[in-house]
Amino acid sequence: MAILQILQYPDERLHTVAKKVEKVDEKTRKLVRDMAETMYAAPGVGLAATQVDVHERIIVLDISETHDDLMVLINPEILSASGEQLGEEGCLSVPGIYETVRRSNNITVRALDEKGEPFTVEAEGFLAVCIQHEMDHLQGKVFVEYLSQLKQTRLRAKLKKRRREAL
Ligand code: NI
C-alpha cells in the first residue's frame, strides 16, 4: 500500500470532473486500498479519487470511531434526496478550514463496491453529508465553493499566506 499525495485547494486539478469506472479490476482495488490508507493516515473520514489526482468516480469513507468500517463507492449515483441539514464541514484538501454547508439530510445512493458488485445505501445525517461532500469532489467541486465569493477570496488569501509562512 502507499500513501498518496492529497491535492491542496486551490489546486486547479481539484476542478476536474471524474470519469466513470468502466471496469472494476485489480488496478481499481489497489487504488481503493491506497486511498483508504491515505485517508486513515491523514486522518480523515472521506476521500475522493479526485483529491489524489486520479479522475475516476471512486470514493472511500469511514465515519466510525474505530476506523474499521470502510465504505467504498464506485460510480456513485444519488437516487433520491430529501430533507435539509446544516453542518460544519472540513476537507483534507482545505486543511484547518471548517465552514457550514447546507445539504440533503437523507439520500439513497447506488454504487459498486470494490468487487464491482452493485449495492444501495440509505444514508442520513453525517454519513449523508460525507457522501455528498465526496461526490461533489468527483464533479470538481470543493465545499468552500458553497461560500460567498467574498468569503472564497478571503479564504484563498489566507491559505496563500499560510503556505508562504510554512516555507
Ligand atoms: Ni473534501
Residue 92 phi/psi, 5° resolution? -65, -15
Q: Quick one: pLDDT at residue 2?
A: 93
Name which of 143, 57, 154 is nearest 101 in CA terms: 143
Amino acid in the structure at residue 27: K
The yes-or-no answer on residue 134 being catalytic is: yes
Catalytic residue, candidates 89, 114, 134, 145: 134
Strands 99-103 vs 106-112: parallel, antiparallel or unpaired? unpaired
Q: Quick one: pLDDT at residue 109?
A: 98
CATH numbers and ranges of domains, the chain:
12-166 (3.90.45.10)
Q: How far is the CA of 135 from the centre of ligand 1 (A)?
A: 9
Structure pTM? 0.96
Q: Quick one: pLDDT at residue 167?
A: 74
**pLDDT tens digits along 69-100:** 999 999 999 999 999 999 999 999 999 999 99
Q: Quick one: pLDDT at residue 162?
A: 86
Q: How far is the CA of 90 from the centre of ligand 1 (A)?
A: 7
Cell numbers at 1, concatenated: 500500500
Alpha helices in 65-148 (DSSP H): 125-138
Q: How far is the CA of 164 from the centre of ligand 1 (A)?
A: 22
Long-range contacts of 76-80 (CB under 8 A, 24+ apart): 76/109, 76/110, 76/111, 76/131, 76/135, 76/138, 77/109, 77/110, 77/111, 78/107, 78/108, 78/109, 78/132, 78/135, 79/108, 79/109, 79/110, 79/120, 80/106, 80/107, 80/108
Q: Quick one: pLDDT at residue 150?
A: 95
Q: How far is the CA of 144 from the centre of ligand 1 (A)?
A: 9
* CA dist., res. 79 & res. 94, Å (int): 28
Q: How far is the CA of 67 from the centre of ligand 1 (A)?
A: 18
Q: How far is the CA of 137 from the centre of ligand 1 (A)?
A: 7
Residues of the chain with pLDDT under 70: none
* CA dist., res. 145 & res. 90, Å (int): 12
* CA dist., res. 165 & res. 163, Å (int): 5
